Amino acid sequence: MTGKLTVSVHDDIHNQNADGIRYDLWRINNGSNRVNIKHGTITDNSNPYILLQANTVDELGSFEIILYIKDYFESFNEKIHVQDNRIIVAFSMNDLNQDHHLRIFIRPDRHWCTL
């Protein structure tokens, strides 16, 4: 069976999906070696979420998503002060028999997640 994790990003300031936010998805090997496995942009029309699939036990493990929130919020031209250029969300995928959805909520000064 294939394990699947989808990730969506919600802009809590504008109460919408974070359409246009850039991201990098990294796999963490041996606790410290980072390997970039995906770079992209979330778009409502074609890529409304980030998809991570594992077909074998070796593909399970620890991951990080880097969201480039400063560029995203500056695209609104609303003089929004963004504290950090990016945020990093770490998570694990441990089961081939389950599908999960990670929701990341962003604001210029903080973020939170639900699974």
Q: What architecture is the 3-114 domain classified under in CATH?
A: Sandwich (2.60)
Q: Beta-strand (E) ranges in the chain?
A: 3-11, 16-17, 22-29, 33-41, 50-54, 61-67, 87-93, 99-107, 110-114
Put simply, whether the predicted model's pTM sits higher than 0.75 gets the answer yes
Locate the domains of the chain by residue range.
3-114
Distance, in Å, from the CA atom of 16 to the CA atom of 18, rounded to the nearest integer, reads 6
Quick one: what percent of the chain has pLDDT higher than 90? 68
Q: What is the pLDDT of residues 36-84, one digit of tens each?
A: 999 999 998 777 889 999 888 888 899 999 999 999 999 998 888 898 9
Residue 32: predicted pLDDT: 78
Q: How confident is the model at residue 30 (pLDDT cuts 50, 70, 90)?
A: confident
